Amino acid sequence: MNCREIEARLADCAVGELPEEWVALVEDHVASCPSCRRALEERREAIGLVAAIGKGSAPRLAPARRAKLLAATRPPAGRHGARLVWLGAIGSAAAAVVVWVALEQYAELNEDREHAAEVLGGTATSENEDEPDASNLALVGKPLTEEEANLIETERAARSTKISNVVKDHRLPRLSPGLPRGTMPRIQAAHVFSDGPDEPGVVTNTEKALAAGVESTEERLEIPSATHFEHAGFNPVQDPKETVLSTFALDVDTGSYTIARSYLQANHLPPPAAVRTEEFLNYFDYGYAGPEEGPFAIHLEGAPSRFGAAGTGSAATWLLAIGIQAKRIAREHRRSAALTFVVDVSGSMAQGNRLGLVKEALALLVDELHGEDRVAIVAYDDEARVVLPPTSLAKRDEIVAAIRSLAAGGSTNAEAGLDLGYRLAIENFAEGFENRVILCSDGVANVGRTGPLGILARVKDCVDDGITLSTVGVGMGNYNDVLLEGLADAGNGNYAYVDRLEEARRVFVENLTGTLQRVAKDAKVQVEFDPAVIASYRLLGYENRRLANEEFRNDRVDAGEIGAGHAATALYEIRFREGGDGTAAVVRLRWQDPDSGKVTEISRRIERDGFHLEFSSASARYRLASCVAAFAEILRGQEGKGPEDLGVVAEVARNVAREFDDAPRVLELAELVARARELRSRER
């Protein structure tokens, strides 16, 4: 038995209700596994604590400790029998709801105070994981000030209504081993993975990471909280008689997909603002053929949509898929890199072992570097400091030791960290190298210029000096997607979100050459639709990458950066004009060489009779891209789409998986779609 299976049974064990067939297995495992033993002890302690809270004797706790205890009182999702036994151990079913409400209201009082303090410019709580500071202890249990109360009155009223509805609308079902999914009140959140390094879980360290001496990282989900996203809206439907051109900057970021995956795996629908269709599309490898000559190949394909109006006539919705594939460069042939890691080591990075994941990710990356590559490390919390000056791979042990030394604590001065990182990179600029700063953070910035604009100004200045910036996000509490995506865009780099070690391997190992060697900068696409053939079109995604049509050939306009082997995919929903024939669309790609600055433009066209007449006749990559885009558009809140549409998306994904070498990721997509469908159905 592994830790994950045992952990699902610890709630039963803690209250003495473990089925007989599991008793020996769990007892033997707990006896030999210190982390599971600690977990069992914590759950037993939590039972007494929650019971005390239910009696009105709420203890004074720091927010991080409070979160741990809340986590310990919420068993894994799907274990409904264990959930009911857990509640039953505290008292009757009705009493359990009252206890939960009391606990949540107690937690919300402190959350409100933290939120009010943040908005009013103060600091109500310590970021220390285990101990509350004196100011927090003084505040716990005291009434809110008038200023705080006015600030949060609306939010409190909404939450109060929600809690009342939980108690009123949901009946606790009777204990039943065959309890169907969805019948428990949703007061039990998904499996909460807490914020301490000693919490139980499944260790997923690799041999490389262990050899490097980096502590193992637990694959743990976090309940998303205090996240910052920004919805870019939806591209409008266009009539080519009025607007014949559509122009956008290429983008190869993938962060939005892995963020949404983290939400769904924690049994939460991602906020619509967190979903960017182009980043969903660009997460997957569609197996495009590389160019026969030059840096790029353009791939075009069209067919009826499975997710629009049915049929194949002019009234039907069709999809035009555009695939841009950059030339691939062998690992041993990529140019040398001078990398400066800027690592957030503030207190928030201790939650969910975020810093531990970053350290393992950096260990993986160091194992992939070679030749004359150099590494420098800057860490920042309240202030920034150089942990490792630029060091060659000949001193690999020193690099690994510097990674191991990183520890979390303090506030988050992202501006200071980036400023020092860039100064270090500029002072040690290497001609002929890929000079890049890589920021690893949960995106929180509460010291210095906390908004993206203040930090972006510094980043943009350094791009002209030949130093690019990529950002890697971790964690799902206090996560600032807006800041990290904006920094990567301004820094001519890529934005990725790493939710587990496998994703770190994808970013830092599988895609390392593309991350470290650009083949184009300011890459743009312009599509010209023939109004005699096309009645309407709409670009799916790329809303925050749109360009004015006249900017396509303005080479001073910043656009997208593409690395070796990278691919970008875009889809257009289109409707044909009745009786239209000939060229449906011309796709143009324009970019600058990152070294010489030479500008190149290529094009490719697709004819009306080049479209497949049936969705099933299209290639596997087209069918995969179409269901990925449909999934993203539904999650973003596309009007008129519901759970039934997600069922079709999941079916297409499962069928397509049989035709891909990367089947596990496509099957995971199908599972995520199915989970989203279930969550959407519960909301109705």
**Separation of alpha carbons 520 and 438, rounded Å:** 19
DSSP 478: S
416/412 Cα distance (integer angstroms): 9
pLDDT of residue 40: 75
pLDDT, one tens digit per residue, over 403-427 is: 999 999 888 888 888 889 999 999 8
CB 519 within 8 A of CB 562: yes
> Shortest CA distance to 421 belongs to which of 379, 449, 456?
379
DSSP 491: T
Pairing outcome for strands 468-473 and 495-497: parallel
Residue 238 scores a pLDDT above 60 = yes
Model confidence pLDDT, tens digit, residues 490-499: 888 899 999 8
SS3 labels along 229-263: CCCCCCCCCECCCCCCEEEEECCCCCHHHHHHHHH
Q: What is the pLDDT of residue 85?
A: 40
Give me 162's structure tokens: 């929600």
Indicate the range of 33-42, 466-475, 642-651 predicted with least confidence: 33-42
Q: Which residue has the higher pLDDT, 210 or 491?
A: 491
Share of the chain above pLDDT 90, in %: 42
Half-sphere exposure of 468 (CA within 13 A, CB side): 25
Q: Which of 672, 651, 614, 682 is nearest to 318 (CA)?
A: 614
Greater pLDDT, 256 or 17: 256
Whole-number Å distance between alpha carbons of 456 and 393: 31
> Quick one: pLDDT at residue 21?
60
Residue 71 pLDDT level (bands cut at 50, 70, 90): low
For residue 436, what are the β-bridge partners? 339, 468
- pLDDT band (50, 70, 90) for residue 448: low
| Model pLDDT for residues 127-184, shown as the tens digit of each residue | 343 333 333 333 333 445 555 555 545 444 444 343 333 333 332 222 223 323 232 2
pLDDT band at residue 350 using 50, 70 and 90 as cut-offs:
confident
Looking at residues 296-308, what average pLDDT do you find?
93
What is the pLDDT, as a whole number, of residue 139?
36
Average pLDDT over residues 547-569: 93
Q: How confident is the model at residue 46 (pLDDT cuts 50, 70, 90)?
A: low
Exposed/middle/buried for 247, CB within 10 Å: 0-12, 13-18, 19+? buried
Q: Say what the pLDDT of residue 5 is.
A: 63
Write down the residue that tokens 């099957």 correspond to.
Answer: 667
Q: What is the mean pLDDT of the chain?
A: 75
Say how far apart CA 680 and CA 684 lie, in whole Å. 7
pLDDT at 3: 66
State the greatest distance between any 2 C-alpha atoms of the chain, in Å, as a whole number: 77
Sheet of strand 534-540, all strands in order from the earlier edge strand to the far edge: 296-304, 318-326, 567-576, 534-540
Q: Does residue 46 sit in helix, strand or coil?
A: helix
What are the percentages of helix, strand and coil residues in the chain, rounded to 5? 45, 20, 40
Span of 209-223, 364-378, 473-487, 506-520 with lowest mean pLDDT: 209-223
Q: Domains (ranges, CATH) in the chain?
A: 3-169 (no CATH), 207-226+331-516 (3.40.50.410), 245-329+518-683 (2.60.40.1230)
- What number is the average pLDDT over the span 565-575? 96
185-199, 372-386, 387-401, 470-484: the lowest-pLDDT one: 185-199
**DSSP category for residue 559:** -
Residue 254 and residue 279 in contact, taking contact as beta carbons nearer than 8 Å:
yes
Q: At what angle do helices 255-265 and 481-490 cross, to 10 degrees?
A: 160
Residues in the chain: 684
Q: Could you tell me which residue, 465 or 434, shows the higher pLDDT?
A: 434
In 288-381, where do the E strands start and end? 296-304, 318-326, 337-344, 374-380
Residue 578 pLDDT more than 70?
Answer: yes
